Amino acid sequence: MSVNREDIEYTLELAKLSVEEDKVNGFIDDINKILEYVDDLKELDTENVEVLINPYEYENVFREDDIEASLSIKEVFLNSENRFDNYFVVPRVIE
Amino acid sequence: MDITNLKGYEIAKKIKDKEIKAIEVTEAFLERTKKIDNVLGGYLNIYEENAREEAKKIDAKNEKNEDIGILGGVPIAIKDNIAVKDMKMTCASKILENYVSPYDATSTTLLKNSGAIIIGKCNMDEFAMGSSNENSAFKLAKNPYDIDSVPGGSSGGSAVVVSSRQVPISLGSDTGGSVRQPAAYTGTYGLKPTYGAVSRYGLTSFGSTLDQIGIFSRDIKDMAMTFNAISKYDKHDFTSKNKKNEDYLLNIDNSIKGKKIGVPVEYFGEGLDSETRKAIENSIEILKSLGAEICECSLSLSKYALATYYILSSAEASSNLARFDGIRYGYRDLSEDNIKDLYTSSRMNGFGDEVKRRIMLGTYVLSKGYYDEYYKKGLKVRRLIRDEFLKKFEEFDLILSPTTPKSAFKIGAKAGDVLSMYLEDIYTVPVNIAGIPAISIPCGFSNGKPVGLQLMSNFFNESLLFNAANEFDKIYKFNEKSSELYGGEFL
């Protein structure tokens, strides 16, 4: 399996990402090298193997639904320069 | 007495016994940093005034004979992907260049509650993606044993500041080897705890099912003492294990006679250089002389761990890093006037190339048509790899390997060669896939630079790692060798 320019453009679109034009081919080469390397996994028969997401399998974790303080509005906006009153300012989304 | 030569636990005791003041300790380490940090680049931000204030508070408490905590007055540095309230947390990325943490990570809270003095935030590979610290958006970090060589990564800065005696202890994070590999390269101890042993609350997520906060130290007791402080159940992280608190110093001087240690042949293949091999063989002899039973074994699936890792960690990263969109915090490209272009442009200009590469790879393996072939396959292989480890631990108490195939490489030597950089983690990655704990122990030199011995144990058996490392170094005495042979200006 190898990726071409079209695949990469589709992937970038999904990831809301872009790369400089002069670097695109380099990225395609790198990703193909990695995909070629990971293709080794196909040697393994995993037909009847269950997936394992967390290495240490947890039972359902419950806790009391206690009310706790969360960050203050002041703290929440500490890292934003794009504020109007208690709102984050973004470009118009709806025409 | 040069305070910076003292071990962390010696410092804590001397302060408690009122032999020295916490402020003298902090000043001594800050002065050393002032002399050498501009060359080594271990820190991204240093908080001198805050450190002095906190040290004075410890002294005032101690004057009144109040409890100052097990790390009372001990200076500590923290990797820049772990939140410390009111300090910057850049993750060495342009996208977070001006970000200030509004809260403390749980491990930070626990260190503060134990009396530790936080000196600063350490350099790293951007978002912990890398094995050389060369992916930092801000500056290089350099190996104290050879400033033309990398210190390893991604927790390169955390390794540098401990190795060069700017602090006795630091925190890093280990997703595929990011504590153990730089520890091996800088002659320090590096611990990757069991998944779930240390809360990840406040650690910037990279691969959420692989990440663990780890510890660097120059002394094994300092590591056990720090682990006592930070390995606690935390309700803010649902993967944090609710277990009884243990005293990890309790069994540290036990004999390791009769302990069974497995040596997997697959970790000694081509690529392992001869001096590193010799150092590991010498380590095996030392462990034998301590009464451990060493036996060859096989972990035949470990060779698939790196491929599994690059699928799973990139997939998780692509999802975790979606939060950096330029809206609520972080870099925003103000020139864009529609929302989609704002996201795309902020991320393009905010992220470095390695981060982009992994987001692309991760997005690809999760996308329609490839999910089963890559991501799901990776999750299945993960079970096979973990189960193979669990089976070995029915037979062995510990598994032993080199931490890395070679010692530190020259800065720039692997630039542009993605796979060769990824292969740096070949011996460390299986541990993260399995979720078990492992430690890197300084055990020798190759090319005049340190190499590490990796010991792995079963889930939540960090105690045995500390014990074995402690007994090993009673014979090997790394610090003596290191200062005799390489006692240069940075060590």
Query: In this predicted model, what pLDDT tens digit does every residue of B468-487 receive, in sequence order?
Result: 999 999 999 998 888 777 76
Closest CA of chain B from A34, distance in Å = 7
Give the per-residue pLDDT at B475. 98
A67 touches chain B (CB under 8 A): no
Taking only the tens place, the pLDDT of each residue in B273-320 is 999 999 999 999 999 999 999 999 999 999 999 999 999 999 999 999
Distance CA A55, CA B383 (A): 8
Give chain B positions within 8 Å (CB) of A31.
357, 360-361, 364
ipTM for the assembly: 0.95
Q: Structure pTM?
A: 0.97
Which of B205, B380, B385 is the best mutation test for A, with the most CBs of A within 10 A? B380
Give chain B positions within 8 Å (CB) of A56.
194-196, 239, 241, 435, 459
Q: Cβ separation of A17 and B382 shorter than 8 Å?
A: no
Distance CA B236, CA B253 (A): 34
The residue of chain B nearest to residue A88, with distances taken between CA atoms, is: B328
Helix axes B462-476, B274-289, angle to 10 degrees: 100
A74 touches chain B (CB under 8 A): no
What average pLDDT does the segment B142-167 reach?
97
Which positions of B are catalytic? 79, 154, 178
User: Are the C-beta atoms of B152 and B133 separated by less than 8 Å?
Assistant: yes
What average pLDDT does the segment B26-32 reach?
98
Which of B198, B338, B346, B364 is the best mutation test for A, with the most CBs of A within 10 A? B364
What average pLDDT does the segment B225-248 reach?
94
Give chain B positions within 8 Å (CB) of A55.
195, 209, 382, 386, 433-436
What average pLDDT does the segment B383-394 reach?
98
Of B457, B459, B397, nearest in space to B260 by CA = B397
Reading the block at residue B209, the tokens are 């099912």
Give chain A positions within 8 Å (CB) of B364.
3, 7, 11, 31
Distance CA B197, CA B203 (A): 14
Query: Which of A18, A41, A71 has the CB atom closest to B307's CB atom?
Result: A41
Give the per-residue pLDDT at B299. 98
What average pLDDT does the segment B75-103 reach?
98
Taking only the tens place, the pLDDT of each residue in B112-129 is 999 999 999 999 999 999
Give chain B positions within 8 Å (CB) of A71.
102-103
DSSP code at position B74: -
B438 SS3 class: strand
Q: Cβ separation of B380 and A91 shorter than 8 Å?
A: no
- Residue burial B358-369, b: 16+ Cβ < 10 Å; e: rest: bbbbbbbbbbee
Give the per-residue pLDDT at A1. 64
Give the per-residue pLDDT at A20. 95
Q: Is the pLDDT at B268 greater than 80, yes or no?
A: yes
Of B237, B238, B216, nearest in space to B226 by CA = B216
Query: Which of A50, A81, A91 has the CB atom closest to B339's CB atom?
Result: A91
How many angstroms separate the Cα of B434 from the Cα of each of A79, B67, B218, B302, B456?
37, 39, 27, 10, 11
What average pLDDT does the segment B322-326 reach?
96
- Whether the CA torsion B140, B146, B150, B155 is positive or negative: it is negative
Q: Is the pLDDT at B227 greater than 90, yes or no?
A: yes
User: Are the C-beta atoms of B133 and B166 separated by less than 8 Å?
Assistant: no
Q: Cβ separation of B356 and A17 shorter than 8 Å?
A: yes
The partner residues of B76 in beta bridges, in order of sequence, read B118, B169
